Amino acid sequence: MATLLWLQTGACSGDTMSLLCADSPSIENLVRKGSIEILWHPSLSASTTGGLGEIIAAIEAGRQSLDILCIEGSLITGPYGTGMFDSYRGRAKIHIVEALARHAGYVLAVGTCSAFGGIPAAPPNPTDCTGLQWDHDRPGGLLAPEWRSRTGLPVINLAGCPTHPATITRSLAMIAHALPMELDALNRPRLFYGTMVHQGCTRNEYHEYNVEETQPGGRGCMYFNLGCQGPGTLATCNSELWNGRSSKTRVGVPCFGCTSPGFPKDGDLFRTDKIGAVPVKLPLGVSRGHYMAYKNLAGAAAPQRVKDREMEP
């Protein structure tokens, strides 16, 4: 059984809400079947917040082993590097996180805030937020790039705003059962960050034939005008639906690229940034030189049923 401590830093609790929604497996199942023992979770522990102090002290003194440390939220280093904008019992949370990380077998950054800085670290970043081991796309956040946990791993980044429920609980299950976990260049598990949001999107045929919406609410693709970042964002959102039912693009909201270190972009999330008539960010791996020629040809070849938006998204 793996012991787990979940600490919130500069967080909105979105990843906790996501955790509570997980059903394959659910966190209850992981606990009931003896895979995980929760030492502390702000929404699941029965004891008051005072109990957390005793657990932290026991871990630091070596009286309690800590297998998995989950951090939810951006790491607040302000004001002036003290971290005291976010403290527990007079101690900056960033110092508590550093101390616990020294004892943990695995450290998981749950959510893009703790992975890369996320929304609190967006310009102008008034509280000097950073990610646990990354600051946006630069290695090194609260912890140095070369930092490693007790088992020799970097911080495992379960990015997302929030992280997909199944990504959280399956990662916990894999760690608890000592299954191998391959990480990508941003230290995200490849198993959950190996497909694009674009893959499995029901608007794909519209995308292929260059049938692009200019206003929200239509059935066409949202890439060219409405800011959709699905073709450049690695996540399972359309290959494994949220709550088994839906995804942003299925309900007409563009993908905001929330699993990427550049999230949130510094601008209108519902508008595609362009150089001239061509989006700044092309689908991953696509050559800029050939892109417009391909789009124009595809548009000319579009079947009438697609142009008429007869296909349900």
Q: How far apart are CA 185 and CA 200, in angstroms?
A: 24
Number of residues engaging ligand SF4 in binding (CB under 6 A): 14
Q: How far apart are CA 82 and CA 84, in angstroms?
A: 5
Asked whether position 11 contacts ligand SF4 by CB under 6 A, the answer is no
Asked whether position 12 contacts ligand SF4 by CB under 6 A, the answer is no
Stretch that binds ligand SF4, among 4-12, 47-55, 169-177, 226-234 (CB under 6 A): 226-234
Write down the residue that tokens 């990504």 correspond to: 167
Nearer to ligand SF4, 141 or 232 (CB): 232
Asked whether position 228 contacts ligand SF4 by CB under 6 A, the answer is yes
The sign of the torsion formed by the CA atoms of 82, 87, 92, 98 equals negative
> Rounded to the nearest whole angstrom, what is the least distance from the CB of residue 74 to ligand SF4 in the complex?
27
Tally of CB atoms within 10 A around 263: 24
Cα end-to-end span (Å), the chain: 43
Whether residue 260 contacts residue 233, with contact meaning beta carbons closer than 8 Å, is answered with yes
Nearer to ligand SF4, 163 or 233 (CB): 233
Stretch that binds ligand SF4, among 80-88, 200-208, 266-274, 297-305 (CB under 6 A): 200-208
Whether residue 207 contacts residue 297, with contact meaning beta carbons closer than 8 Å, is answered with no
Whether residue 42 contacts residue 8, with contact meaning beta carbons closer than 8 Å, is answered with yes
Residues 158-177 interacting with ligand SF4 (rule: CB under 6 A): none
x/- letters, 235..274, toward ligand SF4 (CB under 6 A): --------------x-----x-------------------
Structure tokens at 30: 């992981």
Stretch that binds ligand SF4, among 43-51, 167-175, 187-195, 198-206 (CB under 6 A): 198-206
